[in-house]
Amino acid sequence: MDERDWTDRPLGEDDVLTLGSLEVRRQKIGPACLVTGDLTAAQTAFDQGAPVGLCGQMTPQAASVRIARDLALFPGGAVKPGWHDSFAVSDADGVYICLSLSGRGAKAALAQGTSVDLDAPSPSAAIQFAGVKALLTRRGDAYLLWVEAPMETYVTSFLRGIDDEAFD
């Protein structure tokens, strides 16, 4: 193919892709920041519960996502960027976009994107999805797939081709 022929476009905020029994919605997310170091101390500073891990349920009180042993994505704004005794904070608005996957085809879509056992608990929400880094959490019945923003178009293109009936 010609290297200029990438045709797809990113989703706008709140745009919805309906792909058979799978619904993909670009979730609006607020300010965010990356935090490394003592996450317990960061929880206090950010007034947050423990960061959720793989497929963890996100709530207003549990709105942070654990990426690695001492790295998490927290809601932004509460703490200034920089070093804070035992942890560091960086503004990270726009590093990730969040896709909500819902409907009967959501599990099929995830099974085609990742080999991770979604029923096995993991303190880290980090996965490989369709070959790229991502985070996976839940809100209610929907799965929230956090993808690095520059790969959003690729991931939505990948989702357009999934077989949503694989588990029917």
Partner 1 sequence: MSGWRHDTLGSTIDRNKPLAFTFDGQPLTGFAGDTVASALMAAGVQTVGRSFKYHRPRGLWGLGAEEPNAIFDITHNGYTRPNQRGTLVSLADGMEVRSVNTAPTAAKDRWGWLDRLHRFLPAGFYYKTFMAGGWMRWEPRIRALAGLGTLDPDHAPKGAAQINAKTPLMVIGSGPAGLAAARAAAERGQAVWLMEADAALGGSLRWRGGQIDGQDPQSFIDATRAAINAAGGRIFTGTTVWGAFDHRLFAAWQREPQRHWRIRADRVILAAGAIERPIWFANNDLPGVMSAEAALHGLRLFGALPGKQIVVTTANDSAYPVAFALAAAGVDVTIADARPEGPKADGVKIRRSATVTAAQGRTHVTGAVINGALQAADAILTAGGHTPSVHLWCQAGGKLDWNASRDALIPRPNTADMTVVGAANGSFGLRAALSEGHSAGDGHPPAPSANVEADAPYPIAPVRPDPALPGRQWVDLQNDVTLKDVGLAAREGFTSVEHLKRYTTLGMATDQGRTSNFGGLAAMAAQTGRTIPETGTTTYRPPFQPVPLTVLGGPRRCELFNPPKRLALESAHRDLGARFREYGGWLRPAVYGDGDEADLAQQGAATARKTVALFDASPLGKLEVIGPNAGQLLDFTGYVRMSSLNPGRARYGFMLRENGVIFDDGVVLRPAEDRWIVSASSSHVDGVRFMLEDARQDRLARKGVAIHDVTAAWTTLTATGPRARMMLENAGIPVPDMPHMGVVETALDDAALRIARVSFTGDLSYELSVPTHHADALRARLDRALAAVDGQWIGLESVMILRAEKGFILIGKDTDGITMPHDLGWGGPREKRADEYLGKRSLFTPEARSNNRRQLVGLTVDSAPLVTGAHLVPADGPRTSLGFVTSSYQSPVLGRPIALALLADGRARMGQTIGVFNDGTVVEATISPLCAFDPGGERLHG
Residues that bind partner 1 (CB under 8 A): 1, 3-10, 34, 36-37, 70, 81-83, 87-96, 108, 111-112, 114-117, 130-131, 148-154, 157-158, 161-163, 165-166
- The distance of closest approach from Cβ of residue 80 to partner 1 in the complex, given in angstroms and rounded to an integer, is 11
| Residue 135 CB, nearest approach to partner 1 (Å) | 14
Instruction: Please state the closest distance from residue 70 (CB atom) to partner 1, in A.
Output: 6
Nearer to partner 1, 7 or 44 (CB): 7
**Closest CB to partner 1 among residues 122, 163:** 163
Report the 10 Å Cβ neighbour count for 121: 10
Q: Give the residue with the Cβ less far from partner 1, 10 or 140.
A: 10
One-letter identity of residue 78: A
Task: Give residues with Cβ within 8 angstroms of 121, minimum separation 6.
Answer: 53, 54
Among residues 5, 81, 63, 70, the alpha carbon closest in space to that of 39 is found at 70
Cβ distance to partner 1 smaller for residue 27 or 70: 70
* Length in residues, the chain: 168
Helix axes 106-113, 152-160, angle to 10 degrees: 120
Give CA separation, 75 vs 2, 23, 30, 53, 59, in Å: 40, 25, 7, 15, 12
Least distance from C-beta 44 to partner 1, angstroms?
Answer: 18
- Give the nearer residue to partner 1 in terms of CB position, either 81 or 140: 81
CB of 43 to partner 1, least distance (A): 16
Cα angle: 90, vertex 91, 94; to 5 degrees: 135
